[in-house]
């Protein structure tokens, strides 16, 4: 009788263990499936958005293998999106090569791509208060800092390094009128989202020269580039992904126009 009771006790114990083990396994599988689902829904927008911009480059950009002979078909871009105002390109980081759009609302292209698809990559866009022809003293262009993939303006943060800036001092802006503008970087660093660097309108030459000095002082390093009241600046802005009220900016001054 005692042996039978002991046998039954062991059987119940094994059954309870199997039930608990099965429940733990099911829970683990559920956690894995949920984590996989979260990963997929996170990565798919990056992939689809990246593919979209690759297709746009294939349609609108012509360049030699070494990057020379770069040209943009603005007719093709304007057929796709009438908000097109420019194309921006860096030699390095070469991933920054995108159409630039402008709308009446700065929020529009935060989650809408160049081809009007809902996607967290958004688009590279000019501030709604700027003139589309880059005639303002300070033209602001925004782009997201993506945690995955490095698309959009993520790679601007390479300019935290002074040595990187020395090796890659310029970026280029192409416009529908056929002009190619070369901008030489004179400042790069972290600023508050409401910093003076984002000023567009200036009451006088003196105010503007004070602004330029402020931009130099906010930079991680100093660059020997001439700035004066006639200078035309482009400010490139992205998030730091560290603090909500901080931005990383790269500022370039117009040094050539072809």
User: Strand 170-174 relative to strand 180-192: parallel, antiparallel, unpaired?
Assistant: antiparallel
The single residue listed with the structure tokens 């070494």 is 66
Residues 174, 22: Cα–Cα separation, whole Å: 62
- Name the CA radius of gyration of the chain, rounded: 26
| Residue (of 29, 212, 234, 25) closest to 131 by Cα position | 234
The total of other beta-carbon atoms located within 10 Å of residue 182's CB is: 16
DSSP for 112-180, please give it.
B-TTS-B-TT--EEE-TTS-TTS-SSEEEEE--B-SSTTTBTGGGGGGGSHHHHHHS-EEEEE-TTS-E
Q: Which of 145, 165, 215, 239 is catalytic?
A: 239
Sign for the CA dihedral angle at 149, 171, 232, 176 comes to negative
Told to judge if 144 belongs to the known catalytic residues of this protein, a careful annotator would answer yes
Phi, psi of 196 (to 5 degrees): -60, -25
Told to judge if 239 belongs to the known catalytic residues of this protein, a careful annotator would answer yes
Q: Bin 152: left if φ > 0, else alpha if -120 < ψ < 50, else beta.
A: left
Omega before 102 cis (within 30°)? no
The single residue listed with the structure tokens 């009446």 is 104
- Sequence-distant (6+) residues with CB within 8 A of 93 are 150, 155, 156, 158, 168
Q: Which of 144, 145, 165, 215 is catalytic?
A: 144
Q: Which residues are catalytic?
A: 144, 239
């Amino acid at each position: 009788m005692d042996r039978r009771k002991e046998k039954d006790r062991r059987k119940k114990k094994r059954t309870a263990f199997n039930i608990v083990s099965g429940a733990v396994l099911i829970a683990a599988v559920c956690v894995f499936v949920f984590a996989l689902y979260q990963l997929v829904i996170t990565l798919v927008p990056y992939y689809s958005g990246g593919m979209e911009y690759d297709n746009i480059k294939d349609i609108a950009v012509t360049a030699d293998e070494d990057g020379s002979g770069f040209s943009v078909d603005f007719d093709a871009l304007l057929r796709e999106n009438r908000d097109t105002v420019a194309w921006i390109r860096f030699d390095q980081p070469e991933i920054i090569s995108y159409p630039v759009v402008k709308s009446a609302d700065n929020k529009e292209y935060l989650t809408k791509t160049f081809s009007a698809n809902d996607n967290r990559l958004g688009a590279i866009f000019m501030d709604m208060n700027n003139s589309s022809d880059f005639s303002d003293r300070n033209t602001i262009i925004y782009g997201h800092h993506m945690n995955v993939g490095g698309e959009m303006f993520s790679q601007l943060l390479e300019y935290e390094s002074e040595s990187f800036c020395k090796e890659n001092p310029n970026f280029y802006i192409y416009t529908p009128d056929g002009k190619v503008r070369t901008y030489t970087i004179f400042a790069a660093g972290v600023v508050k989202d409401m910093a003076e660097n984002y000023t567009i309108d200036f009451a006088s030459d003196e105010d503007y020269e004070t602004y330029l000095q402020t931009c130099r002082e906010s930079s991680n390093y100093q660059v020997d580039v001439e700035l004066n009241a006639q200078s035309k600046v482009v400010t490139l802005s992205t998030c730091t992904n560290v603090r909500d009220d901080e931005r990383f900016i790269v500022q370039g001054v117009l040094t050539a126009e072809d």
